[in-house]
């Protein structure tokens, strides 16, 4: 919008295409999870890298913005740097979880790091990487964050999806990748079946646009649990509680102040490799941001149908310790205060324009 004549190309999704970017490769084709998945797709990754490089040499861009995906971007950045292209990096690699070597690699490579959590700033400052906290993009993406759910809204949602009028709504968010849904969804469905033996619940699965709907249908053959698409944020806002695969969806759920359980399971090879390098005690972004285990986490062998049913029952039970719920909601409020104000995208554009001016 600021510069309608600007030519933008790269890897991205539908939102970027609608904004006018030339998509060379769809981002969801590069959303591999785990060590083995990456190894399996190395030839395709090499093809993408070569195609991007040809386009870079053809158009000679004036600035590059790398977004997240450090496995690819940190290997492509030296190629851009060798061609004299200034580099901005938006959504920092999780250097606070992995070895410090990743931060060291960025010194002299990244001209401006745009971070979305304030606790990331001193990490880069200590290593001499130019850094700016721009706020979290979710604050401009999520709708009606501070609007209480009305009885009319909840009633309409229940009617629309055939939910029991009185049963608590349990949102199930099993991830945004095929591998995640395949590993996580069956356990969540089993957990809801166990929970129904002791209380009425209205479980709802939120389908990710990046996962074929047929995969959900394969696991839910009897239509006992509705699968909704395009209403994930409304579900997160209306639900009584949620079970959420570790990732950005946990932040969304926290911003909607919905009590949750964080779950995750990956391959044993990926898990043990991560155990060697990850140096923080939590996987959930909420817990990482506030520095304590405010939200229960069930990971790998601790993630079972029994454990999920038990944790959800605790969230729903009137007899459960209210102190735990209060601590969770207090952590949500603390997280919200850390994320800055809406406008992260505009601040990144400001930073890129500064990089361009400095090059002239």
Q: How much is the pLDDT for 84?
A: 93
- If one compares 325 and 342, the residue with the highest pLDDT of the two is 342
Mean pLDDT of the chain: 89
* Helix 305-316 and helix 178-196, axial crossing angle in degrees, nearest 10: 60
Other Cβ atoms less than 10 A from the Cβ of 30: the count is 16
Kindly indicate the confidence band of residue 168, based on its pLDDT and cuts at 50, 70 and 90. very high
Q: What average pLDDT does this structure show over 74-88?
A: 93
Range with top average pLDDT, 41-45, 139-143, 236-240, 263-267: 236-240
Query: pLDDT tier at 359 (50, 70, 90 boundaries)?
Result: confident
Query: What pLDDT is attached to residue 6?
Result: 85
The whole-number pLDDT of residue 319 equals 61
Using the predicted structure, report yes or no on whether residue 320 has a pLDDT greater than 60: no
Q: What are phi and psi of 11, to 5 degrees?
A: -100, 130
CATH architecture group of domain 141-338:
3-Layer(aba) Sandwich (3.40)
282 close to 299: Cβ distance less than 8 angstroms: no
Residue 222 is predicted with a pLDDT of 74
Cβ atoms 188, 270 nearer than 8 A: no
Percent of the chain with pLDDT over 70: 89
Per-residue pLDDT at 288 exceeds 70: yes
What pLDDT is attached to residue 223? 67
Highest mean pLDDT: which range of 71-75, 333-337, 354-358: 333-337
Section 326-330 average pLDDT: 91
User: What letters, b where the CB count within 10 A reaches 16 and e where it falls short, cover 273-287?
Assistant: eeeeeeeeebbbbbb
Summarize pLDDT for 204-235 with one digit per residue, the tens: 999 998 899 999 999 997 768 999 999 999 99
Contact 138, 252 (CB under 8 A): yes
Tokens describing residue 266:
């990956």
Q: Distance (Å, rounded) from C-alpha 48 to C-alpha 42?
A: 10
> Which of 149, 189, 197 minimizes the C-alpha distance to 172?
189
The alpha-helical segments, DSSP class H, found in 107-150 are 121-125, 138-141
318: pLDDT strictly greater than 90: no
pLDDT at res. 98: 64
Superfamily of chain region 9-140+343-359 = Glycogen Phosphorylase B; (3.40.50.2000)
Average pLDDT for 138-150: 87
- How many CA atoms does the CB half-sphere of 160 hold within 13 Å? 13
pLDDT, tens only, 117-127: 998 999 899 88
CB 199 within 8 A of CB 313: yes
Place 317 in a pLDDT band, splitting at 50, 70 and 90: confident
pLDDT at 276: 63
Q: Supply the pLDDT for residue 125.
A: 92
Q: Contact at 8 Å (CB) between 42 and 73?
A: no
Q: What pLDDT does 70 receive?
A: 84
Give pLDDT tens digits for 3-55.
778 889 999 988 889 888 999 988 877 766 555 566 677 788 888 899 999 99
Q: Which of residues 325 and 189 earns the better pLDDT score?
A: 189
Distances (CA, A) of 195 to 144, 256, 304, 308, 318: 30, 24, 13, 9, 15
- Domain limits of the chain? 9-140+343-359, 141-338
> 281 or 254: which carries more pLDDT confidence?
254
pLDDT digits (tens, 9 = 90+) for 133-143: 999 999 988 87
What is the model's pLDDT at position 72? 86
């Amino acid at each position: 919008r600021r510069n309608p004549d600007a030519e933008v190309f790269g890897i991205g999704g539908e939102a970027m295409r609608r904004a006018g970017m030339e998509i060379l490769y769809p981002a969801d084709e590069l959303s591999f999870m785990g060590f083995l998945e990456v190894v399996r797709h190395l030839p395709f990754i090499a093809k993408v890298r070569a195609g991007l490089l040809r386009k870079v040499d053809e158009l000679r861009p004036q600035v590059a913005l790398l977004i997240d995906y450090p496995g690819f971007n940190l290997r492509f950045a030296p190629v851009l740097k060798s061609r004299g292209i200034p580099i901005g990096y938006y959504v920092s690699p999780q250097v606070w979880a992995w070895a410090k070597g990743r931060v060291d690699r960025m010194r002299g490579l990244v001209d401006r790091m745009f971070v979305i959590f304030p606790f990331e700033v001193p990490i880069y400052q200590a290593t001499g990487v130019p850094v700016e906290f721009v706020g979290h993009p979710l604050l401009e993406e999520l709708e009606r964050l501070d609007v209480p759910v009305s009885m009319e809204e909840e009633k309409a949602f229940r009617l629309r999806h055939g939910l029991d009028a009185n049963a608590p709504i349990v949102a199930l968010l099993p991830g945004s990748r095929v591998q995640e849904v395949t590993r996580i969804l069956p356990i969540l469905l089993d957990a809801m079946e166990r929970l129904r033996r002791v209380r009425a619940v209205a479980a709802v699965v939120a389908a990710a646009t990046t996962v074929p709907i047929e995969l959900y249908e394969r696991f839910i053959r009897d239509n006992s649990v509705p699968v909704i698409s395009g209403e994930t944020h409304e579900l997160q806002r209306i639900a009584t509680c949620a079970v959420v695969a570790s990732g950005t969806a946990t932040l969304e759920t926290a911003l909607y102040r919905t009590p949750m359980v964080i779950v995750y399971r990956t391959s044993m090879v990926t898990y043990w490799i991560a155990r060697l390098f990850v140096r923080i005690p939590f996987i959930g972004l909420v817990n990482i941001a506030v520095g304590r285990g405010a939200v229960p986490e069930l990971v790998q062998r601790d993630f079972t149908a029994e454990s999920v049913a038990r944790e959800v029952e605790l969230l729903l039970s009137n007899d459960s310790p209210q102190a735990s719920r209060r601590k969770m909601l207090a952590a949500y409020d603390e997280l919200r205060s850390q994320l800055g104000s809406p406008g992260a995208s505009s601040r990144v554009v400001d930073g890129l324009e500064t990089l361009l001016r400095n090059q002239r």
